[in-house]
Amino acid sequence: MNFPFFIREVTRSLRRDAGPPFAAMASVLVTMLVLGVFIPIVQATNGAANEVRGKVLVDVFLKTSATDADAERVRRLLTQETPHVGNVVFVSKAEAYAREKRQNPEAYELLGSNPLPDTFRVTPDSPGDVGKLRDALAPLTPGGERSVIHPAIDEVKNRRDETTKILSATRVVKLSIGLLAALLILASVLLISNTIRLSLMARRREVAVMKLVGATDWFIRWPFVLEGIFVGAMGGLMAIATLLVAKVALIDPLKADFSLIASPDTINFGLLVMVLLVASIAVSAAGSGLSLRRFLRV
């Protein structure tokens, strides 16, 4: 292949009309920026969702009149006879009171006695079984109310509602950004396809002459393929440069002050650069291939 010739053809085409290639390059730039933000956000939200799933609990509150013997019987009931139980932690009323007092000293200063009950915090064997675990500990009666499986138990509560809200929010974030990234990728492919089509239309006489003198189909196609790849790669490189500036100027300085930014375990920036560069070239190649297939008839 005569690469110097192909490169000259690409540069000549770009100099002839820079408008459509610039629009396609800007589209790839925006797409790769969204993708560069989307990948770490998806990883961070997946990590947060997994952490939330790991903290799904069922709280078994004992009656204030329950004795140590009652607490021990309930413990044996939870660990030996109740299905879907993964782990059981006992929190005494004294421990709960001390913890709450440390967190809210003013609210507990005026209390003359400890109002908190002994509690068993039960982790299900699987986060999806939290409902079954609650039903096993507090089954529904024919009247639609919940009973308890031991007289010393006062109430059984789970945290499924809060967990469901958090997991739903993470799903909405991922779906929204994913949809935006998909739409921008489609727009980039179509813009690059349109850029190549306009370049083909402007050079259709040259293409016809090259065909008449014996040029092969791929010899004619290569300059257009390289043009699309060049446009996409430039858009990807500009997106990478923008993300690098944002990382150095914003993200890295904030890591020391905000644990929310520093804590998520996300993709290494070097690997992210490679992913974005490959994605930008793939998008541009797809756009070039679509245009060549539809509009080049040689």
- What is the model's pLDDT at position 283? 81
**Domain coverage including residue 110:** 57-158
* Residues 193, 206 within the same domain: yes
Residues 221 and 245 in one domain: yes
Gap between the Cα atoms of 122 and 120, Å rounded:
6
- Are 202 and 68 part of one and the same domain? no
180 and 83 share one domain: no
The pLDDT value recorded for residue 40 is: 80
Asked whether residue 129 carries a pLDDT value surpassing 60, the answer given is yes
Residue that is last in its domain, among 158, 183, 205: 158
**Average pLDDT estimate for 4-24:** 66
Number of CB atoms found within 10 A of residue 294's CB: 12
Give the integer Cα–Cα distance in Å for 269 and 291. 33
Range with the poorest average pLDDT among 48-57, 130-139, 238-247? 48-57
Is pLDDT of 29 > 80? yes
Confidence class for position 210, pLDDT limits 50, 70, 90: low
Angle at 136 between CA 135 and CA 141, to 5 degrees: 60
Q: Would you say residue 272 has pLDDT above 70?
A: yes
| 142, 158, 174 - which closes a domain | 158
Identify whether residues 181 and 43 lie together within a single domain: yes
Residue where a domain terminates, one of 158, 189, 220: 158
Do 184 and 256 belong to one domain?
Answer: yes
Number of domains in the chain: 2
Task: Answer yes or no: do 190 and 288 share one domain.
Answer: yes
For residue 139, what is the domain's CATH number?
Answer: 3.30.70.3040
Of all residues in the chain, what percent carry a pLDDT higher than 70?
66
Mean pLDDT of 235-260: 76
Angstrom distance (rounded) from CA 3 to CA 7: 6
pTM check: above 0.75: no
Q: Are residues 48 and 170 in the same domain?
A: yes
Distance CA(292)–CA(237), nearest Å, equals 24
